[in-house]
Amino acid sequence: MRMNVLIAGGVLGLALAMPAQAGDRPDPFAQLDSLLNPKVLLQGVVREEDVALLFAHLRAALLAASEEREAPLPDELNRRAEAIGAELRMRGTLTGLLFLTAFEAAARQAVLEALAEPAPAAR
């Protein structure tokens, strides 16, 4: 529930900041470029320890397979996978909401420009 409040607050803040710059006509999609960068998207989510956990499990699974048995899945690896998944879902939701906000701003601008143009003269 708390994450929903944070997401809604972030989107509302961005939506309110856009009209303040209306005179400059900013590109509503400009802020999305940095969010779609994989380095920014994964920053602070996947840690070096997570990579070590994954490869330790892969080694154990390979050794277990060579002995024709199943390797147990470590609890810590499950916890980290769930935490990473939850964080990426939240970031994906935020990015989707930002896309919708940008599309809405672009659509509103297009409508305002279309309404501001004089009607074509009738023949």
| pLDDT tens for the chain, residues 1 to 123 | 555 545 544 544 544 454 544 456 667 667 666 667 777 777 889 999 999 999 999 999 999 999 999 988 899 999 999 999 999 999 889 889 988 999 999 999 999 988 887 777 766
Q: Is residue 107 part of a domain?
A: no
Domain that holds residue 43: 2-101
Contacts 24+ apart (CB under 8 A), 23-31: 25/109, 28/101, 28/102, 28/103, 28/105, 28/106, 28/109, 29/102, 29/106, 31/98, 31/102
Q: Is residue 14 part of a domain?
A: yes
According to the model, what pLDDT value does residue 25 have?
A: 62
Domain count, the chain: 1
According to the model, what pLDDT value does residue 122 have?
A: 67
Q: Is residue 108 part of a domain?
A: no
**pTM for the whole thing?**
0.60
Handedness of CA 15, 20, 24, 25 (dihedral sign): positive
Q: Is residue 91 part of a domain?
A: yes
Q: Is residue 67 part of a domain?
A: yes
Q: Is residue 119 part of a domain?
A: no
Q: Is residue 59 part of a domain?
A: yes
According to the model, what pLDDT value does residue 41 have?
A: 73
Q: Is residue 110 part of a domain?
A: no
Tokens standing for residue 60: 């154990």
According to the model, what pLDDT value does residue 5 have?
A: 47
* C-alpha span between 91 and 95 (Å, rounded): 6
